[in-house]
Chain A
């Protein structure tokens, strides 16, 4: 049984091992044709390169980059250190140490338990977004920020300093784009313990 595939582009050619004609065996016409193609590319000023540090390629608003730990309306950290993100993480990049909220810290942490230490190893992270899916408190999101390069490994273990968003309202990180209508609809489904 032979299957004919629909060509993806119009550039596909049927190949055969027929005897080459004299003109083909001389190679020169084909070589000159190839050279004219490369010369055309040599002379075109339009280049594909994006000069990265000076110039950035536009990224989608739902790009999965540098994580953020969100605060709620009153500026309290949403994370309750349940560890579901760490369990969900396929790369085992997330670790945390939980602590109990003390009296007088109600303005800092929303829940009675919070993450005293929250670390993501950005070299292990594969930016899949499973932590975001797993989070019952809508505390962790991936954002369209890029994790910058470094010469050492150590700085890639991001702690709360790098992850938690600033307290000031104006400096909060907007993740509304990542909460697409589908996501919001899913979150309304209270039958999943996840969403309660």
Chain B
């Protein structure tokens, strides 16, 4: 019990730390892709920039619009942040550590319906945005919130559909079960190439990241759903986005890229604790790559128009996801994995 609690605290700190340095990485990646240097004044290579940003956020005036619905106005950022952080508990961050007799799993909770839990949390995350936009009592914020929620709901469908095919092949909804299936065999990316593509695309839309960042497109909607938010409430929204990015990268790595599996490593004769630690490191390498992918895409692609976004979601991704299910099912029947 205590061990789990300590693990949760560590996980929280790591998540927040990663999210903080994602903001730094985002600015550096953006700068480098545009042939600039990026923040380099705070500390060596600007490494203390996230701290400076955080201090700035706290020092800002915490302005509340007089016509805002105060309760919901406070609730919005809180929900966004809480749901973002809650998703991490079902992700298997590594194997098991052994201290003497006690074994300890690097996964805070392993419900049999792991993936569904992630989906539930992401869905509740929509409320954070919706409530924030509604409570601001500002038309731009409301437009942003409506866009965000309709976008997230649309892409959640395609995301779920692409996952159905994966679940058909793995035969389990548990996150650790899915990783276990990949430890010895092929990674799911080899089994479900189309599914990966669909899932990653939808993950981008779920995180409200470019090219699907309509909800907060600055040129049209001022700041989107967080137009009226300032100080650390705004900080919570922005931070939640980065936490979401980290968690989605972790989910993508776990579901399709082997989780904490290290490819081509002969694990015989190695200390099991060492393997666990190396595995966690491998997971973080994968996560780092996907976070970079998020940024890479953001600084490459222009934003979709809203109708294009909806077209892509409903008319392309969902039919493709259904097709993927059919192909997977057909293959399984043909191969004799399933008896009709």
Q: Does the CB pair A39–B36 fall under 8 Å? A: no
By beta carbon, the residue of chain A nearest B32 is: A42
Among B36, B297, B300, residue most surrounded by chain A Cβ atoms (within 10 Å) = B300
Q: Does the CB pair A35–B296 fall under 8 Å? A: yes
Measured in the bound complex, the distance between the Cα atoms of B34 and A42 in whole Å is: 7
- Residues of B with C-beta under 8 A to A149: none
Q: Does the CB pair B35–A38 fall under 8 Å? A: no
- Residues of A with C-beta under 8 A to B32: 41-42, 47
Measured in the bound complex, the distance between the Cα atoms of B37 and A53 in whole Å is: 15
- Residues of B with C-beta under 8 A to A10: none
Measured in the bound complex, the distance between the Cα atoms of B301 and A53 in whole Å is: 34
- Residues of B with C-beta under 8 A to A41: 32-35
- Residues of A with C-beta under 8 A to B34: 41
Q: Closest approach, in angstroms, between the C-beta of A46 and any C-beta of chain B?
A: 7
Measured in the bound complex, the distance between the Cα atoms of B301 and A44 in whole Å is: 20
In the complex, chain B residues 13-37 whose Cβ is within 8 Å of any chain A Cβ: 29, 32-37
- Residues of B with C-beta under 8 A to A35: 296-297, 300
In the complex, chain B residues 261-306 whose Cβ is within 8 Å of any chain A Cβ: 296-297, 299-301
Inter-chain contact total with CB atoms closer than 8 Å:
36
Q: Does the CB pair A38–B296 fall under 8 Å? A: yes
Q: Does the CB pair A49–B296 fall under 8 Å? A: no
Q: Does the CB pair B299–A38 fall under 8 Å? A: yes
The answer to whether residues A47 and B33 also contact, given A35-B297, A39-B296 and a CB cut-off of 8 A, is: no
Measured in the bound complex, the distance between the Cα atoms of B300 and A46 in whole Å is: 19
Q: Closest approach, in angstroms, between the C-beta of A36 and any C-beta of chain B?
A: 9
In the complex, chain A residues 13-42 whose Cβ is within 8 Å of any chain B Cβ: 31, 34-35, 37-39, 41-42
* B129-166 Cβ-contact flags toward A at 8 Å (1 or 0): 00000000000000000000000000000000000000
Which of B29, B35, B37, B300 touches A31 (beta carbons < 8 Å)?
B300
Measured in the bound complex, the distance between the Cα atoms of B40 and A44 in whole Å is: 18
A51 is an interface residue with CB less than 8 A from chain B: yes
Measured in the bound complex, the distance between the Cα atoms of B300 and A63 in whole Å is: 37
The answer to whether residues A42 and B29 also contact, given A34-B300, A35-B296, A35-B297 and a CB cut-off of 8 A, is: yes
Measured in the bound complex, the distance between the Cα atoms of B35 and A38 in whole Å is: 10
- Residues of B with C-beta under 8 A to A51: 37, 40
Q: Closest approach, in angstroms, between the C-beta of B226 and any C-beta of chain A?
A: 27
- Residues of A with C-beta under 8 A to B29: 42
Which of A34, A39, A46 touches B35 (beta carbons < 8 Å)?
A46
Measured in the bound complex, the distance between the Cα atoms of B19 and A124 in whole Å is: 43
Q: Does the CB pair B36–A31 fall under 8 Å? A: no
Measured in the bound complex, the distance between the Cα atoms of B32 and A47 in whole Å is: 8
A8 is an interface residue with CB less than 8 A from chain B: no
Task: List 12 contacting pairs A-B, 8 Å CB cutoff, sorted by A.
Answer: A31-B300, A34-B300, A34-B301, A35-B300, A39-B296, A41-B35, A42-B296, A44-B35, A47-B32, A47-B35, A47-B36, A49-B37
A34-B300, A38-B296, A48-B35 given. 13 additional CB < 8 A pairs?
A: A35-B297, A35-B300, A38-B299, A38-B300, A39-B296, A41-B34, A41-B35, A42-B29, A42-B33, A44-B35, A47-B32, A48-B36, A51-B37
Closest 7 CB pairs of A and B: A49-B37, A38-B300, A34-B300, A38-B33, A48-B35, A42-B32, A42-B33
Interface residues of A (CB under 8 A from B): 31, 34-35, 37-39, 41-42, 44, 46-49, 51
